[in-house]
Amino acid sequence: MMDEVSSLRNYLVVTGGYWAFTITDGAIRMLVVLYFHLLGYSPFEVAMLFLFYEFFGIVTNLVGGWLGARIGLNLTMHIGMGLQVLALLALTVPDAWLSVPYVMAAQALSGIAKDLNKMSAKASVKFMSSGGEGKLFKWVAILTGSKNALKGAGFFIGAALLESVGFRGALALLAGMLVIVLIATALLLPSAVGKMKTKPKFTQVFSKVPAINRLAAARFFLFGSRDVWFVVGLPVFLYEVLGWSFSQVGGFLALWVIGYGLVQANAPRLLRLFQWGQTRLINSNDSDPIKSDQSSLTPLKTDGDTARLWAFVLLLFPAGIALGLQQGWPAQWVLIIGLILFGIVFAINSAVHSYLILAYSDHERVSMNVGFYYMANAGGRLAGTVLSGWAYQTQGLEGCLWWSAAFVLMTGLLSFGLPQIDENRQQLEDQKG
């Protein structure tokens, strides 16, 4: 077990490397969506450019968790960074080379890189956190939330670089930055984080823990509910229907993702305040007076009940936005207000899931469980991406939003089977025994 200083140092290095990678990931996505729409690609064709990105994310998470357990999470993280550099450079070729199959292949490389990096960074937190469940939730929330904030910055950077230095200049700058970060983190991090003492078989990547399987299924629909309208439908609607410029589209989506990330990073605090408020409301009719301090803010209770509650709260927002658009309310304000509210609640849902996958896992299998879980995450993004292009082209943005509501409903229904942390821990002990 690492000492406190080493744990914090390694956590900060992993977080910094993850930040840098995330900026390139957000930027390349915005560059591809806007540049290829400018070249005359239809919404469905733009969505297809990300097909392999999402599909190979499924494969990568499944294989990557197993690979991380065999060779160490540090190495898999840096393999991901190297592949992202290659993916960025692959798109700098002349326009005549940028056929749909070629771009899909480059995006496949980027998808492999992204999910290797994400799986490695998040699984590493389990090994670096030594302060109990509260600290684990806090560290994974900060890592995930800050990553999403930086991905939003990447959206803006991608759009701004497209206008300032062009498509290929932007890609070259991003690749150069990531090479520097790759070298720095490779020198600073230990090599054996997450490496199992015995070499696991590939068949062991499929979890035998019911809680992890159900959480993975809920994660599939949660992220499908976001991407079914966010990936293609929303940016194209803002550009074509509302007449926004590339910078306005990129800037708005960047601010949304940054805000979403900040909420996610502070999810433990927000949930603690919410639970405290519930306690005050329940106890308001008690004969005993309620203490004026907030000692009841701790300990934070986060489990399957929390995931289910916030999934059903989230359901209100895609359905509400769709109804507002169908009623002819001002589309710009419906989307801006609706997106803010959707982002806040989605961020809390995502943070709870990211904590639960680590809390449900033991140290020995954490990289494989995280890989399996993010395989489902990538599957949801794949389904959402494909549906986003098809639904927008055939049903408009309202259709995308109703698909989103259906996916959120499935997330909530699947969350009914998620157990308490202690209950799951006992099941793990029973399996070992």
Residue 207 token pair: 């979890």
Q: What is the DSSP letter of 290?
A: P
Residue 48 token pair: 């297809």
In a domain, 253, yes or no: yes
Buried b (16+ CB within 10 A) or exposed e, 76-90: bbbbbbebbbebbbb
Print the domain residue range for 214.
Answer: 4-192+207-280+300-428
pTM above 0.75, yes or no: no
Rounded CA separation 258/208 (Å): 36
Residue 369 token pair: 């469980």
Report whether 304 contacts 352 (CB < 8 A): no
CATH number for the domain including 78? 1.20.1250.20
Residue 216 token pair: 């993975």
The alpha carbon of residue 72 and the mean position of all alpha carbons in its chain are separated, in whole angstroms, by 22
In a domain, 286, yes or no: no
Buried b (16+ CB within 10 A) or exposed e, 276-309: beeeeeeeeeeeeeeeeeeeeeeebebbbebbbb
In a domain, 433, yes or no: no
Rounded CA separation 353/415 (Å): 10
In a domain, 229, yes or no: yes
Sign of the dihedral through C-alpha 299, 305, 310, 313? negative
At residue 51, the pLDDT reads 77
Domain count for the chain: 1
Report whether 231 contacts 388 (CB < 8 A): yes
Report whether 203 contacts 368 (CB < 8 A): no
Could you report the per-residue pLDDT of 132-191, keeping only the tens digit for each? 556 677 777 777 777 777 777 888 888 888 888 888 899 999 999 999 999 988 887 766
In a domain, 288, yes or no: no
Q: Which of 11-20, 125-134, 188-197, 388-397 has the highest mean pLDDT?
A: 388-397
Q: Name which of 83, 81, 79, 76 is nearest 108 in CA terms.
A: 83
Cα distances (Å, whole numbers) of residue 311 to 252, 308, 412: 25, 5, 5
User: What confidence category does residue 45 fall into, taking pLDDT thresholds of 50, 70 and 90?
Assistant: confident
In a domain, 197, yes or no: no
Could you report the per-residue pLDDT of 279-312, keeping only the tens digit for each? 665 565 554 444 444 444 444 567 788 889 999 9
In a domain, 240, yes or no: yes
In a domain, 285, yes or no: no
